[in-house]
Amino acid sequence: MKKILVTRKLLRSNEDKLKDLYDVGLNLNDELYSQDKLIELSHGCDGILSALTDKLDKETINKLPDSVKILSNFAVGFGNIDVEAAKKRDIVVTNTPEVLTDATAEIGILLILGACRRASEGIEGARASNWKWSADYLIGKQLTGARLGILGMGRIGQKIANIARSLGMIIHYHNRSKLSDDKEKGAIYHDTLDKLLSVSDVLSVCCPASKETVNLINKDAIEKLPKGAVVTNVARGDIVDDEALIDALDRRKVYAVGLDVYKGEPNLNPGYMKHKSAFILPHLGSATKETRTAMANLAIDNLTEFFDTGDCKNKVN
């Protein structure tokens, strides 16, 4: 029986499935393993079922025992893993695409709604019973008729576009390549990021994190947005320069932000705290029972496919 280290606690049904299939090292207390502890626990293991909270950088990967042949990441994103370093050591890296598209797009829409319609301030007022209806109380930005700029029109971007279209938003996007008409569904393609930014009343960051996208939304990029734009990020914190975004909120260049992800999670840059217009969630993108179950099942299937065939369709390196 192959031996697997599972770095984070999973839902019960997924852990039961793992126990049936593998000699499995579970993390029942859901401790956040240090890199040293992860290396130590992986001794004798054939594979690791990792999570986005595990920093599997080059140094850590180079210290993994030779027995480890696969890192099955429990996420669609794999920015937490140095995939090149893994490849050099002949370690396959896999991810969990498709199964989390719907749940993540729902949160992408919640960010847009929450930021545009001043949900943080509204919740605060309602909970404190200190609000008073008036014609101009918490006036926000209406989505109907607003231009939504989607950066990264992959599965999640397309699903956000579909929902936003039904809310009456006009969809623009920038992507490495233009989509076919049936996927585009009338969305307007921009071949550069700058062009997309200049028409984005609301920006939705949906692209993968990679070396090329670190701080892509920086001071220069933010300046290209229309004044009073709304910036939302459902992808990865690394893509946005928080200092630049907070400065833009300070200057009212940016009206509001909606973030499900940010740099240094779980520690939020304190600059956001002074802005009531910041609608911020704790990385909830895939957090539904259906989706987390499906993600873990896929991460397990990826292990099985790899051990059975030596390859895996969800291999990313």
Residues with a known catalytic role: 236, 265, 283
Residue 76, interface with ligand GLV (CB under 6 A)? yes
Tokens representing 305 are 């496919």
Give the count of residues interacting with ligand GLV (CB under 6 A). 7
Closest contact distance (angstroms) between CB of 252 and ligand GLV is: 30
Beta-carbon contacts of 246 under 8 Å, excluding residues fewer than 6 positions away, are: 269, 271, 272, 275
In 166-228 the beta strands, taken as DSSP E runs, fall at 170-174, 188-190, 202-205
Residues counted in the chain: 317
Measured from the CB atom, the residue of 155 and 174 that comes closer to ligand GLV is: 155
Phi-psi map region of 252: left, alpha, beta (phi>0 left; psi -120 to 50 alpha): left
Interacting positions 282-301 with ligand GLV (CB under 6 A): 285-286
d(CA 314, CA 266): 28
- How far apart are alpha carbons 307 and 299 in whole angstroms? 13
Among 4, 50, 54, 77, binds ligand GLV (CB under 6 A): 77
Does 7 participate in binding ligand GLV (rule CB under 6 A)? no
Q: Is 94 in the site for ligand GLV (CB under 6 A)?
A: no
Q: Could you tell me which residues are beta bridge partners of residue 170? A: 147
The burial of 156, by beta-carbon neighbours within 10 Å (0-12 exposed, 13-18 middle, 19 or more buried), is given as buried
Cβ-contact 141, 196 below 8 angstroms: no
Site string for ligand GLV, 214-253 (x = CB under 6 A): ----------------------------------------
| 266 CB-contact burial (10 Å; exposed 0-12 / middle 13-18 / buried 19+) | exposed
Tell me how far, at minimum, the Cβ of 61 lies from ligand GLV, in Å: 19
CB of 260 to ligand GLV, least distance (A): 8
Q: Which stretch binds ligand GLV (CB under 6 A): 21-29, 60-68, 74-82, 192-200?
A: 74-82
Distance CA(42)–CA(63), nearest Å, equals: 10
Site track for ligand GLV across 106-125, x = CB under 6 A: --------------------
- When the beta carbons of 52 and 161 are compared against ligand GLV, the nearer one is 52
Of 38, 100, 225, 244, the one binding ligand GLV by CB under 6 A: 100
Q: Which is nearer to ligand GLV, 127 or 211 (CB)?
A: 211
Amino acid at position 249, single letter: L
Q: Residue 75, interface with ligand GLV (CB under 6 A)?
A: yes
Region of 69-77, 158-166, 197-205, 271-279 interacting with ligand GLV (CB under 6 A): 69-77
Q: Which residues bind ligand GLV (CB under 6 A)?
A: 52, 75-77, 100, 285-286
